[in-house]
Amino acid sequence: MADSWWQRLRGQARVLIALGILLLVILWIASGMFGREADEAPRAAEPQPMAVAVTALEAEPVERLLVLQGRVEPDLRVLVRAETAGQVAEWEVARGARVAADAPLARLRMDDREARRRQAIARLRGAESEYEAAQRLHDQGHVSRTQLEAREAEREAARAELEAIELDIRNTRIIAPVDGVVNQRLAERGDFVARGDPVAEIVDNDPLLAVVHVPQHQIGRVESGQAARIRFLDGRRAEGEVRFVSRVAESGTQTFRVEVEVPNADEALPSGISAGVEIPTETVAAHKLSPAWMGLDDSGRVGVKTVDDDDRVVFHAVEVIRAATDGVWVTGLPERARVITIGHGFVTPGETVRPRPMEASTGAAGPEPVGEALR
């Protein structure tokens, strides 16, 4: 009896063990299916916005410059010409000497001028004697009024002849018409010069004139009295002021001549060389950024992409007003802007993004990848 009861208990135990194992297998299989569903659920979710690197910029007052290349010229350049013909007898100044107005430069040979002067003096004396005699006879009624006037005309002609020869003698002394420096001697001792031939060139380098030619679409930005900065080829700089703005464009180039006056009291700055001229025309609010942050929109406009307060991409057309060694200054952005510095080529205006601040020290964004969708 006891053995049969024990056998029935063992049989029931086997059944319970088998049922337990079966239950464990079912639970294990079910847990695997639920786990896969849980793993697969995120893959079916919507992709997150793209991450981009941004840099916060604030507008600063910047001078809008008109940058031109020109030539430095002396304020005054005079060709001294001979006022009478003759051979150059001697020079009284050296080339490069500074002279004052009315200072003698050179002397022409007198030739027969002194003899003609004495002849004119004698003729004048004779004419004066004849006139005085005619005057006495006219008073006595022996000479008509017409004869007296003829003697008077002869006297005035002789006087004019003397004055002419004396002027010709004075003109043999070539003098400086203005203050300046004798830049060239165009006729040396022994050379024959005719009346009107150039003999010397005098220049005055104080002040200097920086001459530039402004394109017709920018001439409206320039006016007399504006300050200007001049950069010489040797690195020296000077301050100047716009003195003259032409009102007629030059034929062929359609540009306008502009002269900038540059003080040069010590004459340390040379003339006749090329120089760069910067004319500040106005002060505007601008942002400084890297040219790599700029791009083109579908219309071909140059601009910058920013992120607004709702993290949406906005395209702003910009204008470059100044260039620097470490970037460019542009206008067209809001006063405060978050500019997309990395990833701007992968996003479009109106798209929502995940902005990440650019680290100033390393030039990289935060810990998340930029330019890829975050899973």
Q: Which residues contact 153 (CB under 8 A, 6 or more apart)?
A: none
The answer to whether 78 and 178 have CB atoms below 8 angstroms apart is: yes
The answer to whether 373 and 50 have CB atoms below 8 angstroms apart is: yes
Q: Which residues contact 48 (CB under 8 A, 6 or more apart)?
A: 354, 373, 374, 375
pLDDT confidence of 362, banded at 50, 70, 90? very low
Per-residue model confidence (pLDDT) at position 365? 46
DSSP state of 187: S
Per-residue model confidence (pLDDT) at position 322? 86
Output the CA angle 189-193-196, nearest 5 degrees.
Answer: 135
Above 80 in pLDDT, residue 359? no
* Residue that has been written with the tokens 């702003």 in this structure: 316
Find, among 49, 57, 56, 46, the residue nearest to 368 by Cα.
49
pLDDT in tens, 10-62: 666 666 666 666 666 666 666 655 555 545 555 555 678 889 999 999 999 99
Per-residue model confidence (pLDDT) at position 16? 64
pLDDT confidence of 364, banded at 50, 70, 90? very low
Query: Quick one: tokens of 324?
Result: 């620097």
Per-residue model confidence (pLDDT) at position 366? 47
DSSP state of 346: G
- pLDDT above 90: percentage of residues in the chain: 59
pLDDT in tens, 252-276: 889 999 999 999 888 888 888 899 9
Query: Quick one: tokens of 145?
Result: 């009024």
Q: What is the mean pLDDT of residues 78-91?
A: 94
N-to-C CA span, the chain: 71
Above 60 in pLDDT, residue 368? no
Q: What is the mean pLDDT of residues 144-166?
A: 91
Per-residue model confidence (pLDDT) at position 245? 95
Cis check for the bond before 207: say yes or no (omega within 30 of 0).
Answer: yes
Above 80 in pLDDT, residue 221? yes
Strands of the sheet with 104-108, listed across from one edge: 173-175, 104-108, 86-91, 192-193
The whole-angstrom separation of Cα 178 and Cα 340 is: 63
Per-residue model confidence (pLDDT) at position 19? 65
DSSP state of 351: -
pLDDT in tens, 289-336: 999 999 998 888 999 999 999 999 999 999 998 888 889 999 999 999
- Computed over every residue of the chain, the mean pLDDT equals 85
CA distances from 301 to 287, 295, 315, 317 (A): 18, 8, 10, 6
Q: What is the mean pLDDT of residues 232-240?
A: 89
Q: What share of the chain is helix, strand, coil (3-state, %, to 5)?
A: 30, 40, 30
Per-residue model confidence (pLDDT) at position 329? 92
pLDDT confidence of 374, banded at 50, 70, 90? very low
